[in-house]
C-alpha cells in the first residue's frame, strides 16, 4: 500500500527490497489526471523504459496491457484511494532494470505537461503527457529537496 497523500502529492509505497524510503510520487496534477484516466480506462500502471524515444516519459497503460518481467523493477505502488464503489485504485510504477541502474540514486516525481504523449500511453488523447522530474536521493534513500 502507499504512504499516501502528502501536500496534494501521492507518495508511493516502498517496494524495492532493502530500502526504507519511497522512490516515486505523483504531483497533484498527475494524481488528478491519473484518477480521471482510471475512471475512463479502469486499473492502470506505469512503466518507464530506457527506450530510445521516450526515455524520460513514463508510459501509462491499462493494468495488464504491458507485461513486466524479471527485467523490470517495481519502484512503488501509487494509491489514489478507493473509487466511488470502494474498490482500491493502486497503480504500480515499474522501471526497466537497465534504466534503474542509471537512475537508482534519484527520487522521481511523475508530473503532467502540455503536449502530445506517446500513442501507446492512455493520456495521449488528452493533449498532455506524463513527464518524470528527478532529484538526487541521500545515500540513506531520503530525497534531497
* Strand locations in 1-145 (E): 4-6, 9-11, 24-26, 44-48, 59-62, 72-79, 90-96, 106-114, 128-136
Mean pLDDT computed over every residue of the chain: 88
Give me the pLDDT at residue 116, please. 83
| C-alpha–C-alpha distance, residues 94 and 110, integer Å | 12
Q: Is residue 9 a contact partner of residue 18, using CB atoms and an 8 Å limit?
A: no
Looking up cell 507518495 gives: 11
Q: Considering the chain, what percentage of its residues have pLDDT values greater than 90?
A: 75
Give me the pLDDT at residue 2, please. 45
68-122, pLDDT tens digit by residue? 999 999 999 999 999 999 999 999 999 999 999 999 999 999 999 999 877 789 9
| DSSP 8-state symbol, 13 | P
Which residues have a Cβ under 8 Å from the Cβ of 7 and sit 6 or more positions away? none
| C-alpha–C-alpha distance, residues 138 and 20, integer Å | 12
Give me the pLDDT at residue 122, please. 96
Q: Where are the domains of the chain?
A: 4-136
Three cell numbers at 71? 527485467
pLDDT of 30 higher than 90: yes
Q: For CA atoms 125, 78, 106, 133, give the dihedral sign.
A: positive
Give me the pLDDT at residue 56, please. 65
Give me the pLDDT at residue 87, please. 94
Model confidence at 57, pLDDT cuts 50, 70, 90, reads: confident
- Look up the pTM and report it: 0.88
pLDDT of 43 higher than 90: yes
How big is the chain, counted in residues? 145
Amino acid at each position: 500500500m502507499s504512504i499516501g497523500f502528502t501536500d496534494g502529492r501521492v507518495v508511493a509505497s516502498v517496494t524495492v527490497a532493502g530500502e526504507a524510503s519511497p522512490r516515486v510520487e505523483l504531483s497533484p496534477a498527475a494524481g488528478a489526471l491519473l484518477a480521471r484516466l482510471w475512471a475512463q480506462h479502469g486499473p492502470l500502471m506505469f512503466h518507464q523504459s530506457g527506450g530510445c524515444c521516450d526515455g524520460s516519459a513514463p508510459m501509462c497503460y491499462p493494468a495488464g496491457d504491458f507485461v513486466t518481467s524479471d527485467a523490470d523493477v517495481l519502484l512503488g505502488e501509487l494509491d489514489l484511494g478507493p473509487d466511488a464503489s470502494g474498490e482500491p485504485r493502486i497503480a504500480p510504477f515499474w522501471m526497466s532494470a537497465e534504466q534503474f541502474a542509471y537512475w537508482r540514486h534519484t527520487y522521481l516525481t511523475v508530473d503532467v505537461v502540455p503536449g502530445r504523449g506517446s500513442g501507446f500511453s492512455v493520456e495521449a488523447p488528452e493533449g498532455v503527457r506524463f513527464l518524470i522530474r528527478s532529484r538526487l536521493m541521500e545515500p540513506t534513500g531520503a530525497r534531497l529537496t
